[in-house]
Structures are given as structure tokens and as C-alpha cells.
């Protein structure tokens, strides 16, 4: 009898655990990074001469810089053949009593003998000799190429030394690539539950919130798909109608729900509505058709989510019988073209000097049409990238910035560089990009059968007084195939303060640039759809905050063309994404959009000292998809 009572009590407790917990106040935890710049030790790593996989400056694991290349020297290449188990130990410099979060950035997908470790376990120690296990980390993104393995504690632990053990071996291969190791203290703050933001969907999403219901879902939409469309996934979890937690790969059914849970308190809940799936079994079949008939006659009880999922009975019937797919009427998430930069593509280029203010570069694009790129002189004397056309159709903008533009404190008219003046020309020379021979043309002359064209332009930036320049710039343009590459060397001649500045941009018509896919450095992707007809007053949304060094841009109606815009220098071009805007896409006006790679904060100024040197590198490539 006691056994039965115990079972009943257990069942009751389990049911209670599924109910939302309400509270007037919740504890929200703030984390403070305490490991940046800390010293560390690690087990033996790959040391083959010349490949650079040993520690370059002894700060790779705690410098706050995430690797951006699969094989770059920002990774520590631990090799289990040399020493196992593999591990790293950080010395925080002093003892902390409130350590609460630990994470390590790892290569998480197998390639070239590199794979995720067999475990990721964190330990703390007061003396660096005797360590106590605090828990095992979990991957933040199981499908990303590189991702964080994170442990967040419910409480706090003490220690000066923090160790991560990465196992005896990787899951496959021989290497574990570790890019960053972070340790955080934790501080709890009690705030009113009503002040915690609820669940919201990003403006660009096809999905819609209708009160407590998320609509426009298809039968094959997963938990992961919805999470990618939320403005924040922090503390948001998915459950089925019975309260069982769902995984990211689980397909949604009508009646499933997403809950935001903070400090064991449910802050907000939204229910999934899959059109046609009235009974919530994840299918659309005869049962749903009968439900629809009985709902019309008001002789059946259906959940509120089921009522939302109900639609015209004939649509359900046609869907079941194959006459039409009811979801064809829904806008589908466009799939980004599967395009990647594959290095140099050989084309025969022609360079013509049209007049004193214009050079025209032309070639035959991969779709057989003529590709033309202009390079023009501004009214103040510098030369900039102009319009790009294929087959006589303009597919990338001229008359606005591609190159850098800086908001320098005190600058006349606000900005300097790019299309904003406050810059003088020092020298311009053009070369055969293969032989290095200088090309000199008179108006109307051409240079033909070139593989690469290199333009070296030297300029100086100022605040409105050309006699007082704050930076000297050397721009190295390389035109080859369907790619423009630009490398810039900056030398600051005086101290200067900057805000709201960009080191690479891309203006594009909506006809070929309605969509943008941000390829983020953590392996994730963020999709943006802009308005087909934007706002005439330039007040359209700016889709900010993407830690992306590469973006794919393409159109809805004109699908013959797509673009990759890429930045290679994360520190000098993007300041390692320290500012909030990061990489963003502006729904600029009625006909055009524009991509920005952001360098400084939007509203506060940061100082760059005299003598500072930057090297930035970026590229723009058009893909003519008819032949691909």
C-alpha cells in the first residue's frame, strides 16, 4: 500500500512541476567576465614548424577574440597523441567566491582530423593543485561548426584556478581546437516579474504573434525554426501540450508552447498554431476535416489553439486529397544560394579610360553577359567604386559608399571618407595585377586581356581643412573575374575620436538585394527580408547586431544574381564586434538596401592614438547564377 501511495505522490508532484510558477519578483543573474587577459597553461599542442599552431602571444585563450578561420593561429591545437587527457588551466590572479559560469569555444564539427572533445568538464581550485569538479558543459549550438560549450551554475563556487578537461581523445581524429576560455562571476538581482520582457518575434519574420499564439507555422517547422525567429532565446524553452520539454529538432504541433522561464517563474507563454492541424497530432488528415465540420456546427470542444488552427474545410479537404498544398499560399523562408568564395576565377579583363573622371572595367561574366564596373573620380578628387552592371542592368549601386566612411569628432559635415568628402587625393596608379607593370591610359584608350587589375590610391583624411589631415590611407583595389577586393592601410597622424563608422559597405537595388543572410562567426546564420518597396524618408529598419564577417545577398524576382560581401580583418575592420551594431542591413529607401560592417559605437566616441596603424581587407563578389 505504501508503494501505491508513493507512486501517487510522485505522479502528483510531476503534474505540479508542469504548472507555471508565478511570483511577484524573480532573481535575474548578471555575469561578469573575470578571465580576460588572464594567464593560463594547457597540455601539449600541435607544434609542426611553420604552421603556427603553438601559442602566438600566450593570450589566445583569454584575449576575447574568437577565431574566424577554420585553421587560423587563434586556435590552440591540442593533440591527444602528445598529452592526454587534454586540458587548460586559467589563473584568475586572485580567489573569487562567486564564480558561476564557465565556457570554452571549440571546433564542434569533424574535419581534417579536428573534432569536438569526448567531454568538457570544469573544475575549480584554490591552489592550482587540488581541483574540485563543478560540472559538465553543454554545447550552445549542436549544429554549428564552432560553438561554445557552457556550464551555468545554479549557485556559486570559489576558486582562483579554473580548469577545463577536454577528455582523453576527440570523438574522431587527433586534434581539439580551442579558441577561447572564459570564466564569469555571478550576481543575482531581484526585480519585478512584470519588468521581464516577454517572448517577441523579430520584425523580419514570416511568423506572426496573434495574442498568445504564434501563427503561420507549417507542418514541418521545428522548434529550432521558431527560436531563430525570436528576438531573444534567453530562458525560452519549448514544450508539448502535456508539458514535456521538446528538443530543437522536434517538429511542432498545434498546442505545443514556448515558455520563458526565469528563476523557476514562467514569465510568458505562446502557443504554436499549425494551420489545419486542429487536433494537435502533427498531421492534416480526415480527422482534422471532421473537426472542421463539427466546429462549424458548434458541436465539439476544441482547444483555443485548435480553433486558431481551423481554416476553411475545403482547404483542408484539398490538402488531404492532394489538390493543393495549403501552405503554398504562405510565404516560405527563401533559401540562400549555396555559394561560397573559392579564390581566384580567371577572366579576361578590359580597362578603358572613358574620360578624366571615369575608368570602366569590363569582362564576360559566367552567364555569358558583359559585366561592367566603373571607377569614378569624386568632386573632391578621390576615386571610388561606382556602378556594377551585367548585361546592361545595374545590379549594384553607384553614388554611395562601398569603401570606408568615418564619423570623426569635429569633422565638417559629420563624416569623412568614401562618398562624404573630407579626403584628398595624394596619388593614383594602375597596374597589371599579374606582371606589376604600370598601366597609363589617355582618354578613350584601353588595356585588354588582363587577368587582374590593381589600383593603388593614396589619400589623406581630414575634418574639413585639407591642410590638417588626421590619417594617411593607401587603398589597394584588385579587380579580378567577378570580384573586387580592397585592402586599406591606415596610419593615424594625430589623435582622433570616432563614432558611427564603417570600414566596408555595399549598396544594392532591392531587385537583387531583397534578402540578406548573415553568416556569423559562431557558425549560425541570421536571415533578413526587407520591404519590396521601402520607405521614401529613409526611416526603414536597420537589422543590426549580427556578428558576421560574410553576408549573402539575393533577390526575390530577379534570381539570376547573388552576392557575397566579406570582411577578412575582424579586429581592424570590426573591432571584434565590440559595438552593438556589428554587421547590419539597412532597408534604406523605396528601391535600395545597404550592407554595413560597423567599426565604432553609434553614439559614443572612442579614441584612436597617433601612430596607430590598421590594415583592413574586404571583398565584393557577384555570382551570375544562370550557369551555376
Identify the pLDDT of residue 4.
Answer: 29
- Per mean pLDDT, which range of 1-15, 429-443, 610-624 is the poorest? 1-15
Q: What is the maximal distance between C-alpha atoms in the chain?
A: 103
Closest CA to 418 of 477, 370, 461, 363: 461
**Average pLDDT value over all residues in the chain:** 87
Which has the higher per-residue pLDDT, 110 or 21? 110
Identify the pLDDT of residue 48.
Answer: 56
Identify the pLDDT of residue 330.
Answer: 62
Identify the pLDDT of residue 2.
Answer: 28
Helix 286-296 with 313-321: angle, nearest 10 deg? 170
Region 380-404: mean pLDDT is 88
Which has the higher per-residue pLDDT, 523 or 591? 591
Place of cell 565638417: 412
Identify the pLDDT of residue 23.
Answer: 57
Identify the pLDDT of residue 96.
Answer: 97
Instruction: Assess whether pLDDT exceeds 60 at residue 6.
Output: no
Region 249-253: mean pLDDT is 91
Identify the pLDDT of residue 3.
Answer: 27
Q: Is 24 left (phi over 0), alpha (psi -120 to 50) or beta?
A: alpha
Instruction: Assess whether pLDDT exceeds 50 at residue 506.
Output: yes
pLDDT in tens, 121-146: 999 999 999 999 999 999 887 667 88
Contact between 473 and 459 (Cβ < 8 Å): yes
Q: What is the DSSP letter of 236?
A: E
Instruction: Assess whether pLDDT exceeds 50 at residue 205.
Output: yes
Q: How far apart are CA 572 and CA 583, in angstroms?
A: 14
Instruction: Assess whether pLDDT exceeds 80 at residue 19.
Output: no
Region 311-340: mean pLDDT is 76
Instruction: Reduce the DSSP state of residue 427 to 3 states and report it.
Output: strand
Which has the higher per-residue pLDDT, 341 or 298? 298
Please, which pLDDT band fits residue 100 given cuts at 50, 70 and 90?
very high
User: Rounded to the nearest 5°, which phi and psi values hold at 435?
Assistant: -85, -20
pLDDT in tens, 275-322: 999 999 999 999 888 988 888 888 788 889 989 999 888 888 888 888
- Per mean pLDDT, which range of 64-73, 105-114, 497-506 is the poorest? 64-73
Task: Looking at mean pLDDT, say which of 43-52, 181-190, 503-512, 549-558 comes out highest.
Answer: 503-512
Helix or strand holding residue 223 (H, E):
helix 223-228
Instruction: Reduce the DSSP state of residue 347 to 3 states and report it.
Output: coil
Identify the pLDDT of residue 24.
Answer: 65
Q: How far apart are CA 577 and CA 548, in angstroms?
A: 9
Closest CA to 92 of 137, 33, 31: 33
Region 17-35: mean pLDDT is 68
Instruction: Assess whether pLDDT exceeds 50 at residue 33.
Output: yes
Instruction: Reduce the DSSP state of residue 127 to 3 states and report it.
Output: coil
- Per mean pLDDT, which range of 34-38, 295-299, 565-569, 611-615 is the poorest? 295-299
Contact between 375 and 383 (Cβ < 8 Å): yes
CA angle 108, 619, 535 (to 5 degrees): 95
Region 32-47: mean pLDDT is 89
pLDDT in tens, 138-179: 988 766 788 899 999 888 999 999 999 999 999 988 899 999
**CB-based contacts of 285, cutoff 8 Å, min separation 6:** 320
Which has the higher per-residue pLDDT, 129 or 205? 129
**CB-based contacts of 234, cutoff 8 Å, min separation 6:** none
Instruction: Assess whether pLDDT exceeds 50 at residue 627.
Output: no
**CATH number, domain 30-192, options 3.40.50.280, 2.60.120.260, 2.30.110.10, 2.40.30.10:** 2.60.120.260
> CA-CA-CA-CA torsion for 504, 510, 512, 515, nearest 10 degrees?
70
| Every domain of the chain and the residues it spans | 30-192, 208-329, 349-627
Strand order in the sheet with 548-554: 438-439, 423-432, 453-462, 469-480, 483-492, 613-624, 561-567, 548-554, 515-520, 525-529
Instruction: Reduce the DSSP state of residue 64 to 3 states and report it.
Output: coil
Buried b (16+ CB within 10 A) or exposed e, 247-279: eeebbbbbbbbbbbbbbebbbbebbbbbbbbbb
Identify the pLDDT of residue 481.
Answer: 87
Measured in Å, how far apart are the chain's first and last C-alpha atoms?
Answer: 72
**CB-based contacts of 184, cutoff 8 Å, min separation 6:** 31, 32, 33, 34, 35, 99, 100, 101, 102
Please, which pLDDT band fits residue 66 given cuts at 50, 70 and 90?
confident
Closest CA to 67 of 144, 9, 8, 3: 144
- Per mean pLDDT, which range of 31-40, 223-232, 514-523 is the poorest? 223-232
Instruction: Assess whether pLDDT exceeds 70 at residue 371.
Output: yes
Identify the pLDDT of residue 329.
Answer: 63
Give, in order, the Cα–Cα distances in Å from 569 to each of 49, 375, 440, 464: 25, 24, 32, 29
349-627 folds as Beta-galactosidase; Chain A, domain 5 (2.70.98)
Which has the higher per-residue pLDDT, 47 or 196? 196
Identify the pLDDT of residue 1.
Answer: 25
Q: Is the pTM here over 0.85, yes or no?
A: no
Instruction: Assess whether pLDDT exceeds 60 at residue 612.
Output: yes
Please, which pLDDT band fits residue 362 given cuts at 50, 70 and 90?
very high
pLDDT in tens, 553-600: 999 877 889 999 999 999 999 999 988 899 999 999 999 999 999 999
Contact between 190 and 27 (Cβ < 8 Å): yes
Instruction: Reduce the DSSP state of residue 429 to 3 states and report it.
Output: strand
Please, which pLDDT band fits residue 351 given cuts at 50, 70 and 90?
very high
Instruction: Assess whether pLDDT exceeds 90 at residue 373.
Output: yes
Instruction: Assess whether pLDDT exceeds 70 at residue 21.
Output: no
Amino acid at each position: 500500500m505504501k508503494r501505491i501511495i508513493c507512486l501517487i505522490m510522485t505522479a502528483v508532484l510531476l503534474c505540479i512541476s508542469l504548472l507555471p510558477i508565478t511570483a511577484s519578483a524573480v532573481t535575474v543573474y548578471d555575469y561578469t567576465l573575470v578571465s580576460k587577459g588572464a594567464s593560463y597553461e594547457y597540455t601539449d599542442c600541435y607544434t609542426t614548424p611553420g604552421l603556427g599552431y603553438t601559442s602566438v602571444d600566450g593570450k589566445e585563450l583569454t584575449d576575447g577574440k574568437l577565431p574566424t578561420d577554420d585553421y587560423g593561429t587563434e586556435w590552440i591545437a591540442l593533440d591527444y597523441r602528445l598529452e592526454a587527457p587534454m586540458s587548460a588551466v586559467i589563473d584568475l590572479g586572485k580567489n573569487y567566491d562567486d564564480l558561476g559560469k564557465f565556457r570554452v569555444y571549440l571546433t564542434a564539427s569533424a574535419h581534417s582530423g579536428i573534432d569536438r572533445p569526448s567531454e568538457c568538464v570544469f573544475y575549480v581550485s584554490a591552489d592550482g593543485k587540488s581541483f574540485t569538479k563543478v560540472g559538465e558543459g553543454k554545447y550552445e549550438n549542436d549544429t554549428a561548426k564552432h560553438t561554445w560549450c557552457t556550464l551555468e551554475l545554479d549557485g556559486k563556487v570559489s576558486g582562483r584556478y579554473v580548469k577545463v578537461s577536454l577528455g582523453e581523445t576527440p570523438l574522431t581524429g587527433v586534434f581539439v581546437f580551442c579558441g577561447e576560455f572564459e570564466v564569469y562571476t555571478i550576481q543575482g538581482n531581484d526585480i519585478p516579474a512584470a519588468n521581464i520582457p516577454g517572448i517577441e518575434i523579430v520584425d523580419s519574420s514570416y511568423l506572426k504573434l496573434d495574442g498568445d499564439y504564434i501563427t503561420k507555422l507549417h507542418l514541418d517547422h521545428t522548434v529550432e525554426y521558431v527560436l531563430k525567429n525570436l528576438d531573444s532565446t534567453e530562458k525560452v524553452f519549448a514544450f508539448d501540450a502535456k508539458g514535456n520539454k521538446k528538443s530543437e529538432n522536434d517538429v511542432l504541433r498545434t498546442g505545443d508552447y514556448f515558455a520563458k522561464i526565469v528563476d523557476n517563474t514562467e514569465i510568458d507563454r505562446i502557443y504554436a498554431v499549425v494551420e489545419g492541424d486542429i487536433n494537435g497530432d502533427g498531421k492534416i488528415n480526415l480527422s482534422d476535416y471532421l473537426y472542421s465540420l463539427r466546429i462549424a456546427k458548434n458541436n465539439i470542444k476544441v482547444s483555443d489553439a485548435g480553433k486558431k488552427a481551423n481554416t476553411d474545410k475545403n482547404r483542408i479537404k484539398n490538402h488531404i486529397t492532394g489538390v493543393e498544398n495549403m501552405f503554398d499560399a504562405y510565404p516560405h523562408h527563401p533559401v540562400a544560394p549555396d555559394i561560397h568564395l573559392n579564390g581566384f576565377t580567371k577572366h579576361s579583363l578590359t580597362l578603358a579610360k572613358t574620360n578624366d573622371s571615369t575608368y570602366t572595367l569590363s569582362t564576360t561574366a559566367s552567364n555569358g553577359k558583359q559585366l561592367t564596373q566603373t571607377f569614378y573620380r569624386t568632386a573632391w578628387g578621390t576615386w571610388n567604386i561606382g556602378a556594377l552592371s551585367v548585361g546592361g542592368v545595374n545590379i549594384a549601386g553607384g553614388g554611395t559608399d562601398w569603401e570606408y566612411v568615418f564619423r570623426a569628432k569635429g569633422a565638417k559635415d559629420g563624416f569623412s571618407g568614401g562618398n562624404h568628402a573630407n579626403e584628398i587625393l595624394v596619388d593614383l596608379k594602375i597596374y597589371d595585377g599579374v606582371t606589376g607593370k604600370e598601366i597609363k591610359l589617355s582618354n578613350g584608350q584601353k588595356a585588354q586581356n588582363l587577368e587582374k587589375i590593381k589600383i593603388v590610391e593614396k589619400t589623406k583624411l581630414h575634418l574639413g581643412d585639407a591642410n590638417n589631415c588626421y590619417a594617411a590611407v593607401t587603398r589597394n583595389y584588385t579587380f579580378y573575374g567577378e570580384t573586387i577586393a580592397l585592402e586599406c592601410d591606415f596610419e593615424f597622424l594625430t589623435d582622433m575620436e570616432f563614432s558611427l563608422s564603417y570600414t566596408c559597405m555595399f549598396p544594392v537595388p532591392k531587385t537583387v538585394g531583397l534578402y540578406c543572410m548573415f553568416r556569423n562567426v559562431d557558425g549560425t546564420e541570421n536571415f533578413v527580408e526587407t520591404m519590396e518597396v521601402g520607405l521614401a524618408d529613409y526611416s526603414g529598419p536597420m537589422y543590426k547586431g549580427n556578428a558576421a564577417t560574410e553576408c549573402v545577398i539575393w533577390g526575390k524576382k530577379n534570381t539570376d544574381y547573388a552576392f557575397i560581401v566579406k570582411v577578412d580583418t575582424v579586429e581592424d575592420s570590426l573591432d571584434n564586434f565590440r559595438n552593438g551594431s556589428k554587421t547590419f542591413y539597412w532597408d534604406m529607401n523605396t528601391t535600395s538596401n545597404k550592407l554595413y560592417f560597423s567599426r565604432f559605437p553609434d553614439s559614443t566616441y572612442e579614441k584612436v592614438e597617433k601612430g596607430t596603424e590598421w590594415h583592413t581587407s574586404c571583398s565584393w563578389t557577384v555570382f551570375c547564377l544562370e550557369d551555376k
